[in-house]
Amino acid sequence: MNPPEVDRAAASRAAVAARRARAAVKNAVNERRLSAVSVLDTALTSTESIEATLRVRDLLLSIPGLGPIRVDRIMTRLEIASSKRLSGLGVHQQERLREFLVKRAPVVENTGLSRLVVLAGPTAVGKGTVSTYIRENYPEVLLSVSATTRAPRPGEIDGVSYYFVSDEEFDRMIEAGEFLEWAVVHNKSRYGTPRTPIDAALAAGKSVLLEIDIQGARQVKQAMPAATLVFLLPPTWEELVRRLIGRGTETLEEQERRLTTARVELAAQDEFDYRVVNRDVRAAAAEVVELMQIQKATDLHGKE
Ligand code: 5GP
């Protein structure tokens, strides 16, 4: 039986998005912005990644200087079938391919290394303000736009603040594997990070910032261990309460629910790589961005 029209349309949209993200990865390898070894490593650590769906042959072909004849010869020598995807490699094939890539294509010439930074922290700590400030003042950083099932607040713009979607659409996105992570926040609405724009930006050598809740941050760390987790702290608990009440956009019941979540969230700060205190938006934003750069420098030394 044929799938219904809507499912087919959604599946073909997902397929087009995946193809584009794979093309972005191959381009990045071809332009030496991303090493083929790191593509293999991402594919092996995260079976859900775009990299995992890449064919070995296509990865090899994207390495500068390797044409189809040599690639076919290399694949025969590595004993890897030409249709194999990175996720489908056996342990010995993984080892042989890795060894080949380390020797053949270790270099990333452009130092604009990809970075995925997750900014989390308790509710009302000012994550949104800090990330908006970063979006407006650091155009080289891509701020991921989440999908949510909650209704827009006054002034929020669809496609900029969030993609505001129905429950049915959110279900569809989960089923199509479109999320890097998703979670129910404040026991209420669902929020999720669309995967494709992130894969494409990372492959293009951009830094990416996710402003998400703590459950989401944990999921990202699992899917992409190289992600840097930053925890934004209020100067004091009293200040956090003041900010929460001060916003005045939620009902009393909603405020109570958010305070409860915030207490639990504050307890999670030790799981994070860095902590930044949000005394002043500009300073906190600068600190987060600086962390991205410090990371780049450290990574660079690690790779030398
Ligand atoms: P708000 O409804 O106030 O915009 O956001 C509520 C919470 O949802 C915030 O803590 C925010 O960080 C979190 N959030 C926003 N987008 C995402 C997402 O894509 N994934 C997860 N896990 N949390 C998100």
Give distance in angstroms: CA of 189 to centre of ligand 1. Answer: 9
Measured from the CB, is residue 10 less than 6 Å from ligand 1?
no
- State residue 303's pLDDT score: 38
Burial class (CB in 10 A: 0-12, 13-18, 19+), 80: buried
Three-state secondary-structure class, residue 217: helix
Instruction: State the Cα–Cα distance between residues 209 and 232, nearest whole angstrom.
Output: 13
- State residue 194's pLDDT score: 95
Give distance in angstroms: CA of 193 to centre of ligand 1. Answer: 9
Three-state secondary-structure class, residue 118: strand
Measured from the CB, is residue 191 less than 6 Å from ligand 1?
yes
Measured from the CB, is residue 212 less than 6 Å from ligand 1?
yes
Q: Rounded to whole angstroms, what are the CA distances from 33 to 29, 146, 199, 206?
A: 6, 26, 14, 10
Give distance in angstroms: CA of 210 to centre of ligand 1. Answer: 10
Report the predicted TM-score, pTM, of the whole model to 2 decimal places.
0.63
Measured from the CB, is residue 183 less than 6 Å from ligand 1?
yes
Measured from the CB, is residue 216 less than 6 Å from ligand 1?
yes
Going by alpha carbons, the residue nearest to atom 21 of ligand 1 is 212
Give, to the nearest 10 degrees, the angle between helix 5-30 and helix 36-45: 140
- State residue 150's pLDDT score: 97
Rounded CA Rg of the chain: 21
Give distance in angstroms: CA of 97 to centre of ligand 1. Answer: 39
Burial class (CB in 10 A: 0-12, 13-18, 19+), 126: buried
**Can you list the residues of the chain whose pLDDT is less than 50?**
109-114, 294-304
User: Per residue in 36-69, pLDDT tens?
Assistant: 888 898 898 888 889 999 999 999 999 887 889 8
Three-state secondary-structure class, residue 44: helix
Residue with tokens 């594997």: 177
- State residue 191's pLDDT score: 97
Going by alpha carbons, the residue nearest to atom 15 of ligand 1 is 212
- State residue 101's pLDDT score: 87
- State residue 54's pLDDT score: 96
Instruction: State the Cα–Cα distance between residues 114 and 292, nearest whole angstrom.
Output: 10
Instruction: State the Cα–Cα distance between residues 37 and 107, nearest whole angstrom.
Output: 9
- State residue 104's pLDDT score: 74
Degrees (nearest 5) of the Cα angle 9, 11, 15?
Answer: 115
